[in-house]
Structure 1
Amino acid sequence: MTLAVGLAGCAAGGGQTAAAATRQVKAIPGSAASTYVASDSSYSGFTKENGTTVQLTVEPGFQIPDPGKLVDFLIRLGWSVNDNKPNSELFVVIDSAAPIDATAAAKGAGWKSASSLPDDSTGVFIDLKEVEKRLGGWPGKVPAMPAGVVVKDPVSPDPSTR
């Protein structure tokens, strides 16, 4: 019984559950409690839409030295989620004290379809056709977290010394 429950979140092609992806993104240094990965479904009329959202909230006192590298990792992480096959865009949000233009970062990392809402570039939508073309079929491989995507800000005071 335990084996069946353990395998229930695994798709035939691999990948990982949204819960496992959440644990992976929360392992990023400085990630806040509000960081998560979700694979959600909703209906637009009679059409079921599955989407994946990766939300990284970075605590004050941390910085993102290479936003393109971070956004690329988060896109790959989102594509590895095997809960529901997405049929709308993949959405990545980076919320930090020093705002990151996630759309510009994604474009800098070669994601041509990167777009955002007009009033908020901290979130980026990536077209699934481009994701599949670049990363292969769904679900994608579970990516290894690159080193140094979020680092302690060297000029920020240590909160424990206040």
Structure 2
Amino acid sequence: MVPKGENVRMGDSKRCVFCEIVKGERPAHVVLDAPDAMAFLDARPLFKGHTLLVPRTHYETLTDLPGESLGPFFGHAQRLASAMESVLGAAGSFVALNNRVSQSVPHLHVHVVPRNRKDGLRGFFWPRQKYDSDAEAAEYATRLSNALANPA
């Protein structure tokens, strides 16, 4: 999510919040740090563990991502979805992305959200949850990161 009052021009990687996270210029709870992609907890999660997966290179939309990068990128999304179940005890996951419309940060990103039956997520009226503390967010990031580094 773009912090309130901060504008990011489309395609401008110099002012991109996600590029700043990738470069280590902005703090985030990192879940995955791979040569081609990074995943970190969403600052305004639908549910605790809600993770954003981004390519390290600034691509605005899915159609901008080179074809040879699709498999590896979505391989990371697949592993994150699996970690939601194995580590967080979720019954499943919601995996989605927006292209331009409803894309709050103009940098390709995939939402991987832990889901459970009757969790309150209905249509597009999504409840937002907060972590009780920065330490709790860090603990969720560590649990997911460890699952990705040491698959069962």
TM-score range, shorter chain: 0.3 to 0.5
Higher helix share: 2
TM-score normalized by the length of structure 2: 0.32
Which protein shows a greater Rg? 1
Higher strand share: 1
